Amino acid sequence: MNEKNVVGTTAGIIGSSENYAENVVLGATRGHGFAAEKANHLKDVMSGKNAKIVGGDNAKNGADRLVDGIHIQTKYCNSGSKCISECFEEGTFRYLNTDGTPMQIEVPSDKYDAAVKAMENRIKNGQVPGITDPESAKDIVRKGSFTYEQVRNIAKFGTIESLTYDAVNGIKLAGTAMGISAAVSFAVALWNGEDWDKALESSCYAGLKVGGVAWVSSIITAQLGRTGIEQSLRGATDWIVQQMGPKAAAWIANGLRSGNAIYGAAAMNHVSKLLRGNIVTGVVTTLVISSVDFVRMFQGRCSGAQLFKNVTTTASGVAGGTGGWMAGAAGGAALGSLIPFVGTAAGGIIGGLLGAFAGGTAANAAVSAILDEFIEDDAKEMLKIVEDVFGDLAFNYLLSEQEAKSVIDDFKGKDVPDFLRDMYASSDRPLFAKNEFEPMIINIAKNRNVISLPTDAQLLQKTAKIIDTLVAA
């Protein structure tokens, strides 16, 4: 993970962590109810509707969702009548808007007809305040976009439905990571003197790479949130947050989230969930980024020591970037609240970006420096062989300085890292290097000017003059 990718990768990790924290409820006993809310919300958002999940305020008899100004209570039960019966308390409909009209009740698409029939009966019995026409049941009962079985599968690990939901949900997250990475890469390329088109091309490549990693990592992380890993990590993260204390937890929580400020147990619980998300996402992201190195090792194109070094360095960059983002975002939000026209949101984003870059690059450099003392890169080992082979060939073919430079420039124009990995996998590395360089050198030698040797008479005349000069001296 190079410096240009640190910020984008960290943005993806933070996004996945927040997504993990929001979706761990899917693994609860009645997680399918939350799955119904989130899946229908995602469908509405993807359809271009103005949709928000508002049930997080835990208001008594409040709405779960708000779509285009309409308050919705989502009820996904195993029968239509059950969906409707849960909307009544002591025989009276309990989900009312502020003007006293009934909220819409969202039910599974396959339970809709039965739910409408159950609501009609409730209206006939006078159990819905202000409503007397049974036909109004169709206006109150809203047909959800998913069946009861589909949302149950969304709440489970490894199902087609849950993978599809996580894949679609991760698109926005991946887009954010891709955009940040592309912007940073573009700026760095221009600062390094590259022309505009080249900078744009390299930034697009960087964005696609980082966005792809963020997307895959978000899917895997979200899936793991539905397993027992959440419970296994809770004790450790709760202990860490307790050591921080409520003030530090509130400082971090409010710097990383939007909306009303939270304090005390709510803030500590929020930070603990984020930490669990960061741990899972960090491990997953490290493995996704390092997957290519694992493949190379299995192919014999890199050593186990090189794999260990690469994975350790990547993990340090991920951890440093994540920690830097959290600290930077919290500090930036606090500072932004004191500066007019900036605010906590913008301050948090700016602080997070700067913190991720500083933390990620510093941790990466520190670990690389330490490991360099113990483990030599495969590339350095291969380059030593290349230098020896090239030196022998240059001597044998009497290469001039300009000719040697021309060969080296041609070699640099190729995929050097890939060549070195193939060379590492070769059974005869010096021969592999020779087979690469000798044809290039022969081609250079073929283009040399043809030399016409002097005649014997010319050699004798010139030799005689030299002897006369030496005698006279």
Q: In this structure, is residue 163 part of a structural domain?
A: no
From 120, 155, 190, give the residue that closes a domain.
Answer: 155
To which H or E segment does residue 189 belong? helix 160-191
pLDDT in tens, 57-92: 667 899 999 999 999 999 999 999 999 999 999 999
pLDDT at 128: 95
**DSSP state for residue 96 in the 8-state scheme:** B
pLDDT in tens, 142-178: 999 999 999 999 999 899 999 999 999 888 888 888 8
Q: In this structure, is residue 224 part of a structural domain?
A: no
How many Å separate Cα 289 from the centre of its chain?
Answer: 10
Euclidean distance between CA atoms 136 and 101, whole angstroms = 12
Q: How many domains does the chain have?
A: 2
Q: Quick check: 27 and 155 in contact, CB under 8 A?
A: yes
Low-confidence ranges of the chain (pLDDT < 50): 333-343, 345-349, 352, 355-357, 360, 371, 374
From 103, 124, 155, give the residue that closes a domain.
Answer: 155
Q: Quick check: 4 and 206 in contact, CB under 8 A?
A: yes
Euclidean distance between CA atoms 314 and 361, whole angstroms = 10
Tokens of 459: 């050699």
pLDDT at 76: 96
From 155, 180, 205, give the residue that closes a domain.
Answer: 155
pLDDT at 144: 95
pLDDT at 226: 85
Kindly report the backbone phi and psi dihedral angles of residue 347, in degrees, each rounded to the nearest multiple of 5, phi listed first. -60, -40
Looking at the DSSP bridge assignments, the partners of residue 135 are none
Q: In this structure, is residue 298 part of a structural domain?
A: no
Per the structure, the complete domain to which residue 93 belongs is given by: 6-155
Q: In this structure, is residue 295 part of a structural domain?
A: no
Q: In this structure, is residue 18 part of a structural domain?
A: yes
pLDDT at 277: 84
pLDDT at 448: 78
Q: In this structure, is residue 217 part of a structural domain?
A: no
Q: In this structure, is residue 86 part of a structural domain?
A: yes
pLDDT at 165: 92
pLDDT at 283: 84
Q: In this structure, is residue 133 part of a structural domain?
A: yes
